[in-house]
Amino acid sequence: MLIRTKLLLLGLATLALPWAGCQYVREIEGSLRLAESQSLLAVARTIATSLRGRRDLLFRGVDGPRSSEPAGPYDFQPLPLAAAPQLEARDDDWPSAKQSARRFASPRPGEQLEVRTATFERYLYLLVVAPVDRLVLDAGDGAALDPAASGDRVWIAYTTPDGQRAQLFVSAWSTGTVRGRRIATRELGRPELVEEPRVQGAWRRLGSSDASGGWMLELRLPLSMLGHEFGVLLDDRDARGAAPSSYGSLSPRELLPRGRLIAAAPELATYLAQFGQPGVRIAAATSDGSVLAETNALPQVADGLSGAQALLSQLYRRLLDRSSLAQRPLQTERGRLDAQQARAAAAGQGSTALFGAPGRQRLVVAAAAPVLDADSGRVIAMLQVAQTADRWLLLRDRALTRLLNLTLLAVAIVIGATLLFGARLALRLERVRRASDAAMSRDGQLRTDFPETSASDELGDVARGFSALLERLAEYTGYLRTLAGKLSHEIRTPLTIVRSSLENLETEPLGENARTYLARAREGSERLGAIVQAMGAATRVEEAIRSAERSRFDLAELLASATRAYGDAFPARRFQLEGADIPCPIFGAPELVLQMLDKLVDNAVDFSPPGSVVQLRLRNLGGPAITLEVENGGPSLPPDAGGRLFESLWQHRRGDDGRPHFGLGLYIVKLITDFHAGKARAENLAGAPGGVRFTIELARNLTEV
């Protein structure tokens, strides 16, 4: 992995910073929430305590302990409505929640009566649905008291707020608007129909004909006329005047209510309102969680952050805090407190919980407390106080946004700095690497100038180490390069001693055997002399190059002349020269060029079989360089020899021709080529006979280079 990537990963680790910040903000928010919840719970408890034992303030009518009992099958719990329904006998403006519905089975199987109750402001609304029953109308308005003329009839019995029993009925004499009527007893016990104008409603057939589909009745009664007992009964007739089949929540004979109307006392809403504050919802509910009354001042529109900031905080919240989005709504069922809170309150426990307001990015915190009976300590009702949590949310979002902005900025700076540092480090490493790659050139020269050696850090140490190593290596190779020359010089003095001694010895009278040994010793010292000469060859060429004088001369003439000489010197090879017909004047050192040619031809002769052709070629193509080629038909070069061939002391000769070889010949070629600002290379010849070609490029005009 690249250092840059590693450092980038390291930089990414700073992302832990905003994470830690978020955790901190969350913790702060949590404790704030807790404090707020506790204070809200305290408010709820205070209000609940103020209602302790106050059944009269909680419930409609007072009938002793029964009023606070859980709702039975005949008890009606009207649903508080947000808007008044139109009296059209349609259920589409009723809430779909059916928990306020009571169903009463008909004696005939498969048929049932459904009665739904609701309250809005001062009215109780009643929706009576008989889905499968057939609507049988009264014969006429005047015949309402005549049993033979009676059709379907809905009875309502209740106690008045002051405890009087009362009944009224709604008869189906036609569809459309209906009114309630009651039967009053006149003098002589004669019954008389009295209009009850406070009870209004509408009756509608559901099916397409009288015979099927049932019907729906919607009624409105002022709550002020109702006490705590309430019931509904249907007199269902199959035909006008037939004996009714009566069912509902009244006793069929006496028409007395069997159940209660569980609704708030009229003063309850007012009582709760005095605790109301903006942004707070207070709800009182029965002990099973049905809302009796509420004052709702929860804001309907969020007034939180605006614009880009809001967008940003939304994003952060989405990324970091999914919990506030996943809350359940405050009211899952209309007219009911949250089931968990209701259970806790019913058990006498206060509780707090967090809710999400539906469709909005906001939270509501709610505290619920039980209202206890004064004497028995039973739970008679419960109270819930809810408040939007926007204040903390706003606070938290601001803190989060600021925190995240700051830490992200810091992270960006850290990552940027890390990247910059990494890039610089990588660059420096790359420079060192490249320098170490290039430290030894193809021709074996060492470069000791090394980058980064002035840096004070570890990389500088490495570079300095490298540099020192290279310097030592350069000294060493330099020593090796001059070793042959030095050795040849050092050997020369003892060799002179040996030679001069031998020569003196020759003048002495010696025996036959001694002469033989002397001749051998002479021969040995001659060979030693040749070796010393060969060893010093490169040094001498270097010295010759130092003192070389350049002049203008004709390379073509030199080649032609030299090729003739080679023909004499090496009769076992044939020498061919190409391209030397035209004069080729160049500026250089002719003696050195000749010496270079000698070495190349020596090499070619050494490696080619007797009788073969050594091809010399001059290419003068008019460019700044002139190319000289020497080809021989000898064996190919080893594949790895290309770069090292011209190095000092490198050789790959096989066999022994009796002459000392130190791998200096081609090194001398290179020295002379360098002096002429040229290049030397060797390559194997393609094709069947094979062979090797040495190519020398010489600058035409050395002064120009």
Cβ at position 697, least distance to other proteins in Å: 20
**Alpha carbon distance 77, 89 (integer Å):** 20
Is 247 a binding residue for other proteins by CB under 8 A? The answer is no
Query: Which letter does DSSP use for residue 100 in this model?
Result: T
Cβ at position 528, least distance to other proteins in Å: 11
Sheet holding 625-632, edge to edge: 574-578, 613-619, 625-632, 692-699, 679-684
Q: Which stretch binds other proteins (CB under 8 A): 188-196, 294-302, 369-377, 558-566?
A: 558-566
Among 52, 360, 492, 617, binds other proteins (CB under 8 A): 492
**Alpha carbon distance 337, 283 (integer Å):** 8
Q: Which stretch binds other proteins (CB under 8 A): 264-272, 345-353, 487-495, 648-656?
A: 487-495
Give yes or no for a contact between 385 and 38, defined as CB atoms under 8 angstroms apart. no
574-578 and 101-105 strand pairing: unpaired
Coil/strand/helix, residue 1? coil
Q: Which stretch binds other proteins (CB under 8 A): 66-74, 220-228, 500-508, 578-586?
A: 500-508
Task: Rank residues 128 and 541 by Cβ distance to other proteins and give the closer one.
Answer: 541
Q: Where are the beta strands (DSSP E) in 460-602?
A: 551-554, 574-578, 585-588
**Alpha carbon distance 234, 421 (integer Å):** 89
Is 512 a binding residue for other proteins by CB under 8 A? The answer is no
**Alpha carbon distance 301, 309 (integer Å):** 18
Coil/strand/helix, residue 9? helix
Among 208, 493, 513, 703, binds other proteins (CB under 8 A): 493
Which residues are paired to 252 by β-bridges? none
Within 562-621, the residues that bind other proteins by CB under 8 A are 562-566, 590-591, 594-595, 597-598
Cβ at position 493, least distance to other proteins in Å: 5
**Alpha carbon distance 206, 132 (integer Å):** 9
Task: Rank residues 447 and 564 by Cβ distance to other proteins and give the closer one.
Answer: 564
Count helices and strands in the chain by DSSP H and E runs: 13, 23
Comparing CA positions, the residue from 442, 450, 441, 445 lying closest to residue 469 is 450
Q: Which stretch binds other proteins (CB under 8 A): 114-122, 426-434, 539-547, 657-665?
A: 539-547
Cβ at position 627, least distance to other proteins in Å: 19
Give yes or no for a contact between 218 and 200, defined as CB atoms under 8 angstroms apart. no
**Alpha carbon distance 245, 252 (integer Å):** 9
Cβ at position 7, least distance to other proteins in Å: 58
Task: Rank residues 101 and 534 by Cβ distance to other proteins and give the closer one.
Answer: 534
Q: How many positions of this chain bind other proteins (CB under 8 A)?
A: 37
Beta-carbon count within 10 A of 92 CB: 8
Cβ at position 547, least distance to other proteins in Å: 6
Q: Which stretch binds other proteins (CB under 8 A): 207-215, 407-415, 529-537, 657-665?
A: 529-537
Q: Which stretch binds other proteins (CB under 8 A): 36-44, 103-111, 436-444, 532-540?
A: 532-540
Task: Rank residues 509 and 689 by Cβ distance to other proteins and give the closer one.
Answer: 509
Among 262, 365, 414, 541, binds other proteins (CB under 8 A): 541
* Beta-carbon contacts of residue 9 (< 8 Å; ≥ 6 apart): none
**Alpha carbon distance 562, 145 (integer Å):** 155
Q: Which stretch binds other proteins (CB under 8 A): 15-23, 273-281, 454-462, 556-564?
A: 556-564
Is 551 a binding residue for other proteins by CB under 8 A? The answer is no
Binding stretches for other proteins (CB under 8 A): 489, 492-493, 495-497, 499-501, 503-504, 507, 529, 533, 536-537, 539-541, 543-544, 547, 549, 557-558, 561-566, 590-591, 594-595, 597-598
